[in-house]
Amino acid sequence: MYVIRAFDKTDHFIQKYFSRQKDFIIATVNQNITSRWINLVTDIFSVVTVSAAGYFGVLSTVIGGSSSNSLIGLALVWSLQINSIMSFTLRVLADTESNMNAVVRLYDYIDNNPSEKDFDEPKPEHDVWPSHGKYKIAGASYKYRPELPYVLKQISFDIKEKSKIGVVGRTGSGKSTLTLGLLRILELTQNEDGSMGNIILDNENTSDLGLHCLRQKNYHHPARPNSVHRNHQDKHGSF
């Protein structure tokens, strides 16, 4: 809540809540109306079926057909159950179709969800990399989605080897976004002029490296008071 108030977005989220609540009410009302309509249609169909069974049963007896009273009674008994059978069948079909939405979403995530770049290839030119820890960041921009505004816009700076720096800023200024960009959890975004920024670490463009190669060589320690330093520094037990 304090973040929402800090950005003065209280009215925006209230209106968004009422809009979502309105959509939920509309969907619920439509579902109830559809359910009542299906019940009405099945009841009418059941009445027509029972009436037809009784009418043709009596008609066959009047005109001297081979129908007996027991067969007519059996037909009427089974026709009376058509309402419950149809209601149960339609309910099962509706529930099955509704539950299959989860399967459709899974297939959509598998086929259309963009995945990360290659993990292992290409590798750095030198076996020992990085050897100095010299960063050169030029024109780097980041967005969390294409339709959203820039979180970081064409930032450029250099980090010399064996130096200690601090990134300071208010909430939402892009400190965590910069960390995500250095590890390529968030990929670079095209700038407004159509150019692409780059991040050079010891003469290697990090965008051209495999993700495992990059992330295993960069150390990220979370700011938690109860975290164990060695476990995060050597999480794969390589040293």
Q: Strand pairing partners for 136? A: 158, 200
pTM: 0.51
Q: What is the pLDDT of residues 97-139, one digit of tens each?
A: 878 888 888 888 888 877 777 777 778 777 778 888 888 999 9
Contact 220, 183 (CB under 8 A): yes
Q: What is the pLDDT of residues 144-163, one digit of tens each?
A: 888 888 999 899 999 888 88
Instruction: Please write down the HEC assignment for all residues of the chain.
Output: CHHHHHCCCHHHHHHHHHHHHHHHHHHHHHHHHHHHHHHHHHHHHHHHHHHHHHHHHHHHHHCCCCCCHHHHHHHHHHHHCHHHHHHHHHHHHHHHHHHHHHHHHHHHHHHHCCCCCCCCCCCCCCCCCCCCCCEEEEEEEECCCCCCCCCEEEEEEEECCCCCCCCCCCCCCCHHHHHHHHCCCCCCCCCCCCCCCEEEECCEEHHHCCHHHHHHHCCCCCCCCCCCHHHHHCCCCCC
Is the model's pLDDT at 199 over the cut of 80?
Answer: yes
Torsion of CA 148, 150, 152, 156, to 10 degrees: 140
Q: What is the pLDDT of residue 205?
A: 87
